[in-house]
């Protein structure tokens, strides 16, 4: 197998200096193209999210004030305060002007600025989904490597089968089972106990204690995809000539795998990891709901349930923005670590 890294050098028979600047120009164009694409996507999301939410039937004010003690005058006042008595185009202009000033509007249900709500919930989500992603990536890559290396072995069959079973289990159900089985030793609600002393160490331990079950649930449903991608991309490398060469040099099996096979097999996995990292901010709606984890996923669930337009718009913007940014980083990183992308 020839190294793909050799291709650009062959295709560009100029001096090394000019080839360097050409590569820089190509690099700049690549980066600009990707960033520009992301900005356009974000604008489309702003427009789409605004109108999509309003296409969904259901009047948020009617839903909020159902069976409450508010009379018609108060209901009308509430509608007026949230700007929902204006025409659709006027509301859209208000929304855009607000966005340009960094104002995401006010949540009808929580009666709080949307930006403030999202910021409050961002930390817990990044903590939960971040921790779960790191653990799943490590676990998935490790098991995927071992399973792929010894395909058909008992370890392969067991770990792949086990991961797939967990992956296909409904998250909500899995969470409730865990809560029932292990709930005696772990808290059933929230991110921290309000009675924990406010000093640093007890707080950290308390949050870690609350994190165990939700994190475990997320890892259980997440890690299979890393395992499978790693396993299949390692299988593709298995019969490559360079592995035979490495073995011929007398290298131990562990080293052949660790230094030669895995680095090549990692490339598709990196793309997957960064796509997934984008969804980190999106949280895990079901896991957060089961464990009442005060994150963005839970907020999204509540916003959907209450038809809370401003909150939904803000959340969609932030969530889509996170996916775009992470994809962008993934693309750029791939440009650095995979020579074939640079060549393209």
Partner 1 sequence: MRIRRIGIGLIAAGMAVLSAPIVAQAQDTPQPRTLRVAVTGTIASMNPFMAYHLGDTEIGRVMYAFLTSYSRDDFKPAPGLADKWQVSSDNLTWTYHIRSGAKWSDDQPITAKDVAWTFNKIMTDKTAATANGNFVANFDTVTAPDDNTVVIKTKKPQATMLALDVPIVPEHVWSKVTDIGKYDNLQYPVVGSGPFTLTNFTQGQSITLKANPDYYGDKPAYDQLQFRHYDNADAAVQGLKNGDVDVVSGLTPAQYTALQSTPNVTTVKARQGRQNDLLINYQAQTNDRQPVGDGNPVLKDPKVRQAIAQSVDIKTLVDKAYGGLAEPGSGFVPAVFEQWHWTPDAAQEQKFDLAAAGKLLDEAGYAKGADGVRTDKQGKPITLRLLVDSGIPAQTAAANFIKGWLNQVGLGVTLQALSSDALTDAGSTGKYDLQINAWTGNPDPDALLSIQTCGNLPDAQGNGNTENFMCDGQIDDLYKAQLSEMDQAKRVKDVKDLQARLYSLDSSVVFAYPNSLEAYRSDRWASFGLQPAQGGSITHQNGYYGYLLAKPIDSGSSGGGNTTLIVVIVVVVVVVLGGGAFLLSRRRKAGADERE
Question: Which residue number, 20 or 71, has a Cβ lying nearer to partner 1?
Answer: 71
Question: Which residue number, 7 or 74, has a Cβ lying nearer to partner 1?
Answer: 74
Question: Which residue number, 242 or 301, has a Cβ lying nearer to partner 1?
Answer: 301
C-alpha distance across the termini of the chain, in Å: 19
Q: Select the residue interacting with partner 1 from 306, 315, 319, 320 (CB under 8 A).
A: 306
Q: Is 132 in the site for partner 1 (CB under 8 A)?
A: no
Q: Is 41 in the site for partner 1 (CB under 8 A)?
A: no
Question: Which residue number, 79 or 330, has a Cβ lying nearer to partner 1?
Answer: 79
Q: Select the residue interacting with partner 1 from 101, 199, 239, 241 (CB under 8 A).
A: 199
Question: Which residue number, 7 or 111, has a Cβ lying nearer to partner 1?
Answer: 111
Here's the x/- map for partner 1, 159-198, by CB under 8 A: it reads as -----------------x--xx--xxx-xxxxxxxxxxx-
Q: Select the residue interacting with partner 1 from 230, 298, 312, 317 (CB under 8 A).
A: 298
- Interatomic CA distance for residues 110 and 300, integer angstroms: 13
Report whether 223 contacts 136 (CB < 8 A): yes
**Shortest spacing between CB 296 and partner 1, in angstroms:** 11
**Shortest spacing between CB 297 and partner 1, in angstroms:** 10
Contacts 24+ apart (CB under 8 A), 166-170: 166/220, 166/221, 166/223, 166/224, 167/221, 167/224, 167/225, 169/220, 169/221
Cβ-count burial 31-53 (b if 16+ within 10 Å, e if not): eeebeeebeebeeebbeebbeeb
Q: Is 13 in the site for partner 1 (CB under 8 A)?
A: no
**Shortest spacing between CB 129 and partner 1, in angstroms:** 17
- Interatomic CA distance for residues 275 and 327, integer angstroms: 6
Candidate segments 39-47, 116-124, 140-148, 268-276, binder of partner 1 by CB under 8 A: 116-124
**Shortest spacing between CB 171 and partner 1, in angstroms:** 12
Here's the x/- map for partner 1, 249-288, by CB under 8 A: it reads as x-xx-xx---x----------------------------x
The phi, psi pair for 204, rounded to 5°, reads -60, -45
**Stretch 59-88 residues interacting with partner 1 (CB under 8 A):** 59, 61-63, 65-79, 81, 85
**Shortest spacing between CB 254 and partner 1, in angstroms:** 7
Q: Is 305 in the site for partner 1 (CB under 8 A)?
A: yes
- Interatomic CA distance for residues 116 and 98, integer angstroms: 14
User: DSSP state, 107?
Assistant: -
Q: Is 19 in the site for partner 1 (CB under 8 A)?
A: no
- Interatomic CA distance for residues 29 and 12, integer angstroms: 18
Helix residue ranges, H only, the chain: 6-11, 16-55, 60-65, 72-81, 88-100, 114-149, 154-168, 171-182, 200-237, 241-248, 253-255, 262-280, 285-290, 296-305, 309-337, 339-343
Task: Say whether 64 sits in a helix, a strand or coil.
Answer: helix
């Amino acid at each position: 197998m020839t190294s793909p890294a050799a291709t650009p050098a062959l295709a560009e028979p100029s001096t090394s200096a000019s080839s360097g600047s050409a590569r820089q120009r190509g690099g700049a164009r690549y980066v600009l193209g990707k960033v520009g694409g992301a900005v356009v996507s974000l604008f489309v999301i702003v427009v789409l999210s605004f109108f999509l939410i309003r296409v969904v039937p259901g009047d948020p004010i009617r839903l909020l004030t159902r069976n409450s003690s508010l009379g018609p005058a108060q209901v009308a006042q509430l509608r007026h305060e949230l700007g929902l008595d204006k025409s659709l185009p006027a509301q859209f202009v208000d929304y855009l002007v607000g966005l340009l000033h960094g104002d995401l509007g006010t949540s009808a249900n929580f009666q709080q600025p949307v930006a403030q709500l999202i910021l409050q919930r961002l930390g817990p989500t990044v903590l939960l989904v971040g921790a779960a992603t790191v653990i799943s990536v490590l676990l998935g890559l490790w098991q995927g490597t071992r399973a792929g290396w010894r395909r058909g072995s008992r370890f392969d069959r067991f770990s792949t089968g086990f991961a797939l079973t967990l992956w296909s289990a409904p998250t909500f159900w899995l969470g409730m089972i865990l809560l029932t089985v292990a709930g005696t030793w772990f808290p059933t609600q929230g991110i921290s106990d309000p009675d924990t002393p406010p000093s640093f160490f007890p707080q950290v331990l308390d949050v870690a204690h609350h994190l165990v079950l939700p994190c475990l649930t997320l890892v259980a449903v997440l890690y299979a995809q890393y395992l499978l991608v790693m396993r299949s991309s390692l299988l593709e490398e298995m019969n490559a000539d360079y592995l035979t060469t490495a073995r011929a040099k007398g290298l131990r099996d562990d080293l052949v795998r660790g230094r030669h096979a895995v680095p090549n097999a990692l490339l598709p996995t990196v793309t997957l990891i960064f796509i997934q990292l984008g969804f980190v901010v999106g949280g895990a709606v079901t896991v957060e709901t089961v464990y009442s984890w005060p994150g963005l996923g839970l907020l999204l669930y509540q916003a959907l349930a209450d038809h809370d337009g401003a909150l939904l718009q803000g959340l969609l913007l932030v969530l889509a923005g996170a996916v775009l940014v992470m994809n962008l980083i993934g693309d750029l990183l791939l440009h650095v670590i995979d020579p074939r992308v640079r060549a393209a």
